[in-house]
Structure 1
Amino acid sequence: MFFRNLTLFRFSPAVADDLNRLDEALAEHRLRPCGPLEMGTKGFVPPVGRGEEAALTHAVKACTLVTVGSEDKLLPAAVINDELYRKVQKIADEEGRKVGGRERKRIKEDLLTELLPRAFVRTSRMSAYVDKKHGWLVLDTSSRKSAENALTQIREALGSFPAVPLAPEEGPRVLMTDWLANNNLPAGLTFGDECELKDPATATGAIARCRRQDLDSEEVKEHLRNGKQVFQLGLIFDERMSFVLGEDLILRKLKFLDVVMDELGDSQQDAAAEMDASFALLTLELERLLGKLEEWFGLPRPADS
């Protein structure tokens, strides 16, 4: 269950205290099946196990794992429009009249009522956890919109959850450009093999994307000398995990290296034990990394109001 991407929010110690009722709050917002005439539903599903009796949270020390789920009907607009056209054309051919806007709207609503119960249902899941000790909300997505939607679900369950986006004191783009241009990496970091460089002067400025390349090469340095800045940078932390860090401070392509995976082993006897061990290892490793991000970019934890 290792996360592949990290979108991050922060919350205060007082908010952390309120999270002690998370399990109880989520119980009233469990994901239910999509009804025949519903386009979709959202809610929470068990991180471990299935069924109504399975818990909606899984805690290891100060970290609590939740899973936000959704069911959405797949009913493409093109399908509806094709059916609508056929029905309108049939009326025109058989009755010799044009269909007005109000009648067309009613026909479309009738089509939705007819087609929705037969539409396929797409399910999705997103894992997230709260670190109450250090004030982090960590979501396994690289999409800011998806992260905000999941955060909204948590807020609705709790009534209030004032987690806020990261507000770095050090500009990520400027700092990462300095790292790459001057080989000025903080201790514990080494370069990966990819980056994205852009000319920030204009919205349509030149873009250079490097993959599987030595980032200390003269070619990369030339792009930097010509005024491009780092918007994404591949990094390796303590030889234990690799990722691509964006100027939005979203971590993409997160991968735990062999030295970490070897520590997990394969001695777990069941799914619950395996989840417990994986989540404990995940949160322990990310605790160290997030602490360093806080240090490098100046990411203060919100204070109690």
Structure 2
Amino acid sequence: MFFRNLTLFRFSPAVADDLSRLDEALAEHRLRPCGPMESFSRGFVPPVGRGEEAPLTHVVKRCVLLHPGGEDKILPAAVINDELARRIEHITEEEGRKVSGRERKKLKEDILTELLPRAFVRQSRLPVYADRANGWLVLDTSSRKSAENAVSQIREALGSFPALPLAPEEGPRVLMTDWLANGSLPAGLSLGDECELRDPATATGAIARCRRQDLDSEEVKEHLRNGKQVFQLGLVFDDRISFVLGEDLVLRKLKFLDAVLDELGDSPADAGAEMDARFALLTLELERLLAQLETWFSLPRPQDA
């Protein structure tokens, strides 16, 4: 259950205390199947197990795992448009008249009404955990939209959930450019093998993307000397976690290295015990990484009024 991407929010100590009622609050927002005439449904699904009785949170120490989920009806636009064209053609041939814009709209609504109950349903879930001790909300996605939607679901369940996007006091782009240009990385941090460099002067400036490349090479440094800045940078933390850090402070391509995986040992026979072991290891490793991220970029935790 290791996360592959990290989008981060922060919350205050008072909000952390309020999360103690999360399991009770989510019970009224359990995901239900889409109705015949619904195009989507949103709610929470159990992180472990299935069924109506399975809990909607999983707690290890001060970290709470939850899964905002959803069901979406799949109705491809091409299918709707093909059926609409067929019906318009039929009216034109049978009645010898053109179909007005208003009638076209009504025909399309009728098609949606007929096809929606028969549409395929796509299920989704987004792993999220809240570190109540340190005020981090960690979402396994690189999509800002998906992250915001998940936070909105939590906010709706709790009634209030003032989790805030990261507000770095140190500019990520400037700091990462200095790391790459001057080799001045913080202790415990080393370069990976990919980066994205852009000319910040214009929105359509030149872009250089490097993958599987030595980032200390002259070719990369020449781009920097020509004024490009780092927008994404591959990094390795303590030889335990590799990731690509964006100037938006989203961590992509997160990977736990052998030094971490070896600590798991043999998988427990019980699924619940295995979940506990993996979640505990995940949160412990990320607690160390996020503490350093907080230091590098001066990421203040919101404080209570």
- TM bucket (normalised to shorter chain) is over 0.9
CA distance in 2, matches of 1:208, 1:111: 47
Match status 1:191 vs 2:191:
yes
State the one-letter code of the partner of 1:200. Answer: P
CA distance in 2, matches of 1:156, 1:266: 40
CA distance in 1, matches of 2:219, 2:90: 64
Structure 1 match to 2:253: 253
Structure 2 match to 1:182: 182
CA distance in 2, matches of 1:184, 1:65: 36
Structure 2 match to 1:100: 100
Match status 1:201 vs 2:196:
no
Structure 1: runs of 5 or more not aligned: none
Structure 2 match to 1:40: 40
State the 1:101 CA deviation. Answer: 2.4
State the one-letter code of the partner of 1:302. Answer: P
TM-score by length of 2: 0.99
1:25-64 equivalences under 5 Å are 25-64=25-64
Match status 1:126 vs 2:123:
no
Structure 1 match to 2:243: 243
CA offsets 1:242-267 (integer angstroms, 9 cap, x no match): 00000000000000001101101124
CA offsets 1:149-206 (integer angstroms, 9 cap, x no match): 1111100110110000000000000000000000000000010000000010000111
Structure 1 match to 2:137: 137
State the 1:70 CA deviation. Answer: 1.0
State the 1:35 CA deviation. Answer: 1.3
CA distance in 1, matches of 2:216, 2:104: 62
- Off by >6 Å, runs of 4+ in structure 1: none
State the 1:112 CA deviation. Answer: 0.8
State the 1:81 CA deviation. Answer: 1.3
State the one-letter code of the partner of 1:206. Answer: A
Match status 1:86 vs 2:73:
no
Q: What is the DSSP-based 3-state SS (H/G/I as helix, E as strand, rest coil) of the residue aligned with 1:72? A: strand
Structure 2 match to 1:226: 226
Structure 1 match to 2:20: 20
Q: What is the DSSP-based 3-state SS (H/G/I as helix, E as strand, rest coil) of the residue aligned with 1:303? A: coil
CA distance in 2, matches of 1:69, 1:278: 21
State the one-letter code of the partner of 2:9. Answer: F
TM-score by length of 1: 0.99
Structure 2: runs of 5 or more not aligned: none
CA distance in 1, matches of 2:194, 2:118: 45
CA distance in 1, matches of 2:192, 2:291: 20
CA offsets 1:41-89 (integer angstroms, 9 cap, x no match): 1110000000000000000111000011111111011211111111111
> Is the deviation greater in 289-298 or in 269-278?
269-278
CA distance in 2, matches of 1:288, 1:76: 44
1:1-12 equivalences under 5 Å are 1-12=1-12
CA distance in 1, matches of 2:242, 2:101: 56
RMSD of aligned Cα (Å): 0.8
Identity, % of aligned positions: 81
